[in-house]
Amino acid sequence: GSDRRSGTDDGKPFLLYPRNNRLHIAFSPQQWTWRICEDLRSNPASRASWMKMLDLKRYCMTMAEPD
């Protein structure tokens, strides 16, 4: 992977996922390096430490933020 991503595609201001998905979300004011992206993708312990899990099906039913 590359640490340089251009963002030249036709970006949208939203993301669409099927309701049965679980998302792992986090915010950073800086673009993550490829190494960080790959670590979070492949390492469940790291992902659990740095990201919030959102069960979309549960959220759609309760509209409550994740624990």
* Bridge partners for 25 per DSSP: 52
Domains held by the chain: number: 1
Q: What is the pLDDT of residues 12-63, one digit of tens each?
A: 889 999 999 999 999 999 999 999 999 999 999 999 999 999 999 999 999 9
pLDDT at site 27: 93
Say how far apart CA 20 and CA 37 lie, in whole Å: 23
Q: Does some domain include residue 13?
A: no
The separation between the first and the last C-alpha atoms of the chain, rounded to the nearest angstrom, is 32
Q: Does some domain include residue 53?
A: yes
Q: Does some domain include residue 4?
A: no
Q: Does some domain include residue 2?
A: no
Residues recorded for the chain: 67
Q: Does some domain include residue 40?
A: yes
Helix, strand and coil percent figures for the chain, each rounded to 5: 35, 10, 55
| Domain boundaries, position 30 | 22-62
* Single pTM value for the model: 0.72
Say whether pLDDT at 5 is over 80: no
8-state DSSP, 31: P
Q: Does some domain include residue 33?
A: yes
